[in-house]
Amino acid sequence: MTTDVDLPTAVSQKFPSATPRASLDCPAFNVPPGEILAVLAHLRDAQGYDFLMDLTAIDWTAEQAPRFTVVWHLYSSTKHTYVRLAADCVDAAAPAMPSSTGLWPGADWLERETYDMFGIKFDGHPDLRRILMWDGYPYFPLRKEFPLAGLPADLPDAEVAAETKAGLIAAPMAGGPFVATPGGPMGDAEPRAKDEAWNEQTEKPE
């Protein structure tokens, strides 16, 4: 991955509040939430970073403030370089960030996924709703407090719920961490879930 050595100076001159962020692979900046759209637009229109590669978030744990950080990765199709932007959510109880769908329509699904997994709302998003979990699902699976094996939750579909023992299923599906027994027959060595999500309300599979 190549870098744009002049970008930090250009961005800092245009946006003094955008401070360089430690990074080993490409230029990176911490940006106040109120300026993130202006910085993104400048990078796209003036610096040639025309492609939104990714948009996601970080949960630093509930004990840290700020708790949530939204991260954008941009790519320049002419310079063949990358840049990373990070903006902290001010309110950990109701994390929010301006939507970048007005700059990149492709941010639509990325912001929906970040909302679905972290519970971060994107103000101005045209259709902010869950994209992987069902509407009404009470958890955010990529938050630090969410267990790897999932948590039982009421299924929204009566037909599917009827196929489970108690109308409950661990979502994401029960499993993990996965363990394997080395050696022996191939079937015995196949990784198997420890099924930590099963509890007294759900019958553990045979």
SS3 160: helix
As a whole number of angstroms, the distance between CA 140 and CA 201 comes to: 21
The pLDDT value recorded for residue 204 is 46
Q: What pLDDT does residue 150 have?
A: 82
Phi-psi region of 184 (alpha: psi -120 to 50; beta: other; left: phi over 0): left
Amino acid 69: pLDDT:
98
Residues of the chain with pLDDT under 50: 1, 175, 198-206
Q: Which pLDDT value is given to residue 115? A: 98
pLDDT tens digits for 36-81?
Answer: 999 999 999 999 999 999 999 999 999 999 999 999 999 999 999 9
Domains and CATH numbers, the chain: 7-123 (3.30.460.80), 151-193 (no CATH)
Over residues 124-138, the pLDDT tens digits come to 999 999 999 988 899
What pLDDT sits at residue 41? 98
Position 186 scores a pLDDT of 57
